[in-house]
Amino acid sequence: MATAYDFDATAADGSTVPLSEYAGKQLLIVNVASKCGLTPQYEGLEALYREFKDSGLEVLGFPCNQFLGQEPGTDAEIQDFCQVTYDVTFPVFGKVDVNGPRSAPLYAHLRAEAPGDWGPQHGEFYEKLKDVTPATEPGDIVWNFTKFLVGRDGHVLKRYEPTITPDRIREDLGPSQP
């Protein structure tokens, strides 16, 4: 069975990054956007990365423009925004689709491993989005800042819907010291 480490990603500079480079590490994979109401989650993602990177956590950001065009910039503009606005030091890759026929193969895999629990339990945010971005396939990502926690074996441990902020993920990461 495939793991997240079996896929490649495209870096912001266009180069190919085999995710096998991260084998044995815990990954937090997030579809990100710079013009979204949830964009301040970059701050929390960076805080998690700085706290847990020495114990093997990698945060991997994947910009996506599929949700009301909230990531319209070029890959270079996105890199600049992340560094200048949020002092992001974790990798932010090239822009991808996370749903549909052009979905990045990594995201097709993540959605299949962890279909999610998007529904009324997510309250007001769910009510606002249910008619804006209806999921067309089971497991589709419904909005920016959906997060997948991947274990050291490369399999998805947990999916966090957009309303789950990075600080609420901390307890699932374990101690920050190696």
Query: In whole angstroms, how far apart are CA 95 and each of 65, 107, 121, 141?
Result: 8, 12, 30, 15
Q: Which amino acid is residue 21, in one-letter code?
A: E
Instruction: Tell me how far apart the alpha carbons of residues 148 and 108 are, in angstroms, rounded to a whole number.
Output: 12
Q: Point out the catalytic residue in the list 28, 36, 38, 78.
A: 36
82 catalytic, yes or no?
no
* Residue 143 and residue 33 in contact, taking contact as beta carbons nearer than 8 Å: no
Instruction: Tell me how far apart the alpha carbons of residues 135 and 133 are, in angstroms, rounded to a whole number.
Output: 6
Residue from 112, 74, 69 nearest 92 by CA: 74
The catalytic residues are 36
